Amino acid sequence: MNSRDLGPRVIVALDYATGAEALAFAQRLDPKRCRVKVGKELFTVTGPALVEQLVGRGFDVFLDLKYHDIPNTVAAACKAAAGLGVWMINVHASGGRTMMQAAREALAGQTRPPKLIAVTVLTSLGAEDLHETGQTEEPAVLVERLARLAASSGLDGVVCSAQEAQRLRQACGPDFCLVTPGIRPSDSAQDDQKRVVTPQMAITGGADYLVVGRPITKAADPLSVLDRINADIALAAGR
């Protein structure tokens, strides 16, 4: 359980195909009660302008572009992302220590640097897929190895499944930021997520921030669903 004051712990995934839809939906949210995530599809369609508009409306933005390239390129991309005023960015831990350290150093001169987190193993990859790429470790072992590598490379945390949170909290310490997607309130549809976890379970397991998409974006009354999730989080966090 996390006793630090983390501010709003729900990150609403703005998985929309156009900027107009994303902005119209953001209009129905409250930046004091959640943060938002912009991913590859939306960013590719809208570019930085949408991110700047969301930041301008007071939202903390997680720019989920999962950089993975040579250190110089990733460092420059991270610096450019920081220039947009976003709250969180991410890179692939499998890009290696030098790449992650370059990303960290690129943010050093920023007045309000974004949180820099890593993707360990994409949850879409099973043991078979990993073996085909030459990875012989079991997924959970590889996840922990990459999370430890991210931590020792100076990153602020990782994206992980809530089922891994407890193990990574123990491995990487109390201040390491754990961001968990695959969250479903108990009365929500599972959609295409296979192993879902409720907000309470994720918080109890040690997650800091919960990425929630469709249970909020498809709701008739998004703010009331958000409020209920926030209440569940507060209960699980003992506040």
Q: Is 15 in the site for ligand C5P (CB under 6 A)?
A: yes
* Shortest Å, Cβ 201 to ligand C5P: 15
Residue 89 β-bridge partners: 63, 116
Strands 35-38 and 177-180 turn out to be unpaired
Q: Is 39 in the site for ligand C5P (CB under 6 A)?
A: yes
Among 32, 37, 66, 115, which one carries the catalytic annotation?
A: 66
What residues have CB less than 8 Å from 47, skipping those under 6 apart? none
Nearer to ligand C5P, 13 or 178 (CB): 13
Q: Is 213 in the site for ligand C5P (CB under 6 A)?
A: yes
**Which 125-164 residues touch ligand C5P, going by CB under 6 A?**
159
Q: Is 88 in the site for ligand C5P (CB under 6 A)?
A: no
* Shortest Å, Cβ 45 to ligand C5P: 15
Instruction: Show which residues are catalytic.
Output: 66
The residues binding ligand C5P (CB under 6 A) are 13, 15, 39, 123, 159, 181-182, 191, 193, 211-214
